[in-house]
Amino acid sequence: MDWSTDFSGKSAFVTGAGGGMGLAAATNLLQAGADVTLFDLKEAPDELPKGARYVQGDVSDNAAVAAAIGAQAEAAGRLDYLINAAGVLWFENDRSAVDMDLDVWDRVFAINLKSVVHTVRHAVPLMKQSGGGAMVHISTIQCLRGDTQPQDAYQASKAGMVALSKSVAIQFAADNIRSNVIFPGPTLTPMQQRWRDDPAKGEMIADYVPLKRLGTPQDMANACLFLLSNAAAFVTGTELTVDGGMTAMP
């Protein structure tokens, strides 16, 4: 059986699903037969997939996350999968930790990292009831290196996601709950609208990638579905780099 289409009867909760990677992954899960709630602060996208539940809410609001995850489990009768795709990259305000506004630091951490605490703490008990489950948290290759034009809150919060994922993976392995991270490389999503506004800049970045193109939301969705699937049943507590070869370069 093709693992990528074997999600019927399963239930998923996806944050950051109003566009980009989250929307692509949620759409693929729905097409593969899963029951899915898409959660995002933005209004529902025009291309909202048929059969989706869309909940507009703030991932940094613990009560809102708890209610939405609980509603998904009640509606589907179970919870099997969690994808944390929510995140912010505030170029104009996120800079070096030496001189950035610490209120910005705190807000970025609330959205990018504390939100993962919110989803995990409410998903784990429900996954236990379902006999196990799998989580995928979307980080970035930027948390693996420094930058002369830093976005320190973004990078540090996404690095924290990796440590939390590893801890969750070990804590709940005996409950058949897996937790993994994806490291996307440069990907053309709404977060990187600047590359659409300046195609020459996007082409320059793409030329730097060994595979000579930018990543797409579908590339990341493919990785998500693999890590959620039974094909990855022996994969937990690790990171899958999906960057066209960038981090393999000297």
Residues annotated as part of the active site:
154
Are residues 92 and 154 in contact, defined by beta-carbon separation less than 8 angstroms? no
Most distant CA pair in the chain, distance: 54
